[in-house]
Amino acid sequence: MADVSSQQVPHPAGERLHEFLLAAVRTGPDRPAVVEYAGPGDIRTTSYRQLARLAEEYADALAGAGLRVGDRVILQSDTSYPAIAMLIACSSLGAAFVPVGPRTPAHRLEWITGTVRPALHLRAEDPPPGHRSPQVASGVFGPDGIRFEPRPATGRGGGGWRLGVETDPAYVIFTSGTTGHPKGVVMSHRGVVAFYRGMLGCDLVEATDRVATTSPLQFDFSLLDIGLALGSGAAVVPVPRALLPWPRRFLRVLAETAATQVNGVPSVWRQPLLREPAMLAELRQIRGVLFCGEEFPAHEVRRLQELLPKARLTNCYGSTESMACSFAEVPSPLPDGQSRLPIGTAHAGAELMLVGEDGSPVEGAGMPGELHLRSPALFLGYWDDEPATRRALVPDPVAPWTGQKVLRTGDLAYRDDRGDFYFCGRVDSQVQIHGNRVELREIEHRLLSCPGVANAVALVVDDPDGVPLLAAVVVPDRADGCVDDAVLLSHCRDALPDYMIPQRVEVVSELPCTQNGKTDRKELAAWCRTAR
């Protein structure tokens, strides 16, 4: 029987993902590891011992089917007890898992399959009808084991047997790529565990906590939640994704599972804040809220702080190429007039620095620069894409002669006089409007500060004659769904130069979101081109 919890104590610096995630099985085998909401009044709890046992069962079945170190496994599932056991099993065999959502479009699945050439495609039980690559062995897995269809050939030829090591890929996550094809971010065991160790240094969670995760498995935020909970000896609470759009059902899951920490992108809070504030305020057991992925509008942060005064809000910043890299506690209450949240400084063991357009470090407070990250948690590279990797992992601007590579984030930020960083947009979201350099985020912050506005995006769209113009898409925070354009534009004129005043205002009931819950700016730009 494969022993995934690795009884021998691993070298403290040499842990792989499964050893990190199951370490608590030695100190509290019967403590809850996963708490699942199966319906009103139906809460199912799995202990660390049970999780380790299912992972061992999976690992034995996968090894018996010929899975080897270095193989890739497509893991098509939401976050769940079996999915967590499966990623632990893959890790123990040295196989990299490639998480994809249950409803991944066929062409995307085909692209990913053709790119990573997986040995196996595993789908959670009762999967929705979807794409299957006939040439890839596949199986369905659940709490009772794996059912292979048809059973993959065992003992496949070619390639020698070897031990898995910490520098091997632990997973490959596909993120949207500017080339129109997704890019595979390859993270090693060493990188993930280094990130987890840095995160645990922030003391965000205790062993008695229950960490609700609202992100899909293919978004590495879910892997943060799993590592944060299991690495702390606490429990993971997967919030069923089908319930997320319904605030009352979402909040009921948090209540019935007694979640004490709730993690997710800012947009998961928009509807509960607007439609169920009283129900949210009753969740007094929530002592922590962690969010990441994009800026959380300040007025929504203030509202959340009013409703959950005991909760510690943490703004987590980072990109999939390093999982994340900073965890900043949000001041409570957020000072009046402060519209930006700090992203803080890098977690222990990593360092964020600003680099100017001339490639030299930017030191002074208030001076903008591009964030670069020096860290042991950097990704190995983009799968089979050396040119893209070289653009992301660049020579250390401070000491290029050392050969150390740092991550060029593409994010703009500045330091305050205490040394905390503040995100201020993407390098590529700087646009030129009639020759003027415009930072779209600056316009968005002004729009968001206008009374009656719940959310807003500024973007450049071409008018019918192909001339670029500045558009604002605004979500009202009033039930009547109205926003007075004149008031909005006058509010902008009070603070922005003429060339930054939106030339077009569209009002929508809500903004389109990506699979990961972030505002989908590409979709919005396409919509603006067709609107009117």
CA gyration radius, the chain: 23
426 binds ligand HFR (CB under 6 A): yes
Nearer to ligand HFR, 507 or 525 (CB): 525
Interface residue with ligand HFR, options 423, 454, 457, 461 (CB under 6 A): 423
Choose the binding region for ligand HFR from 110-118, 215-223, 297-305, 496-504 (rule: CB under 6 A).
Answer: 215-223
Query: Total binding residues for ligand HFR by CB under 6 A?
Result: 23
Amino acid letter, 219? F
Beta-carbon count within 10 A of 138 CB = 19
At residue 457, φ and ψ (nearest 5 deg) are: -130, 135
Residue type, 66: G
The burial class, CB within 10 Å (0-12 / 13-18 / 19+), for 494 is exposed
Q: Which is nearer to ligand HFR, 58 or 171 (CB)?
A: 171
Contacting range for ligand HFR; rule: CB under 6 A; set: 25-33, 48-56, 377-385, 408-416: 408-416
- Which string of x and - marks every residue 174-193 that binds ligand HFR (by CB under 6 A)? -x------------------
Q: For residue 476, what is the DSSP state?
A: E
> Applying CB under 6 A, which part among 38-46, 318-326, 358-366, 457-465 lies near ligand HFR?
318-326
Q: Does 324 bind ligand HFR (CB under 6 A)?
A: yes
Q: Find the part of the chain contacting ligand HFR (CB under 6 A) among 66-74, 289-297, 390-398, 484-492.
A: 289-297
Residue 340 sits in the site that holds ligand HFR (CB under 6 A):
no
Selected from 317, 382, 383, 421, the binder of ligand HFR by CB under 6 A is 317
138 contributes a contact to ligand HFR by CB under 6 A: no
Q: How does DSSP assign 102-159, residue by residue?
A: TT--HHHHHHHHHHH--SEEEEESSPPS----TTS-EEEEETTEEEEESPPPSS-SSS
Q: Does 311 bind ligand HFR (CB under 6 A)?
A: no
Closer CB to ligand HFR, residue 77 or residue 222? 222
Least distance (Å) from ligand HFR to the CB of residue 371? 8
Say whether residue 343 binds ligand HFR (CB under 6 A): yes
Contact 289, 314 (CB under 8 A): yes
Q: How far apart are the first and last CA of the chain?
A: 64
Q: Where are the beta strands (DSSP E) in 2-60?
A: 32-39, 42-47
* Residue whose CB is less far from ligand HFR, 5 or 319: 319
Binding part of the chain for ligand HFR, among 67-75, 219-227, 393-401, 432-440 by CB under 6 A, reads 219-227
Q: With binding defined as CB under 6 A, does residue 170 bind ligand HFR?
A: no
Q: Please identify, among the stretches 45-53, 243-251, 287-295, 414-422, the one whose residues bind ligand HFR according to the rule CB under 6 A.
A: 287-295
Q: Which residue has the tokens 């506690």?
A: 329
How far CA 353 is from CA of 246, 324, 328, 329, 422, in Å, comes to: 40, 15, 16, 20, 12
Verify binding: residue 327, ligand HFR, rule CB under 6 A.
Answer: no
- Only one of the segments 110-118, 359-367, 409-417, 493-501 lies at the binding site for ligand HFR (rule: CB under 6 A); that segment is 409-417
220 binds ligand HFR (CB under 6 A): yes
CB 313 within 8 A of CB 330: yes
If one asks whether residue 50 binds ligand HFR (CB under 6 A), the answer comes out as: no
User: Interface with ligand HFR includes 409 (CB under 6 A)?
Assistant: yes
Tokens of 120: 């196996």
User: Which residues ranging from 146 to 165 are in contact with ligand HFR (CB under 6 A)?
Assistant: none
- Reference 313, options 337, 289, 281; nearest CA is 289
Measured distance CA(304)–CA(334) in Å, rounded: 11
- Contact residue for ligand HFR among 318, 344, 381, 517 (CB under 6 A): 318
Q: Does 79 bind ligand HFR (CB under 6 A)?
A: no
CA atoms within 13 A on the CB side of 347: 27
Sheet holding 453-462, edge to edge: 453-462, 468-476, 504-507
- Enumerate residues 6+ apart whose C-beta is below 8 A from 28: 48, 207, 233
Kindly state the smallest distance separating residue 195's Cβ from ligand HFR, in Å.
Answer: 8
Picking from 152, 145, 105, 101, the residue whose alpha carbon sits closest to that of residue 125 is 145
Closest CB 193 distance from ligand HFR, rounded Å: 13
x/- mask, ligand HFR, residues 245-284, rule CB under 6 A, reads: ----------------------------------------
Q: Tokens for 20?
A: 């990190």
Task: Give Cβ neighbours of residue 351 (< 8 Å, ≥ 6 apart).
Answer: 373, 374, 375
Give contact residues for ligand HFR (rule: CB under 6 A).
175, 220-221, 223-224, 292-295, 315-320, 323-324, 343, 409-411, 423, 426
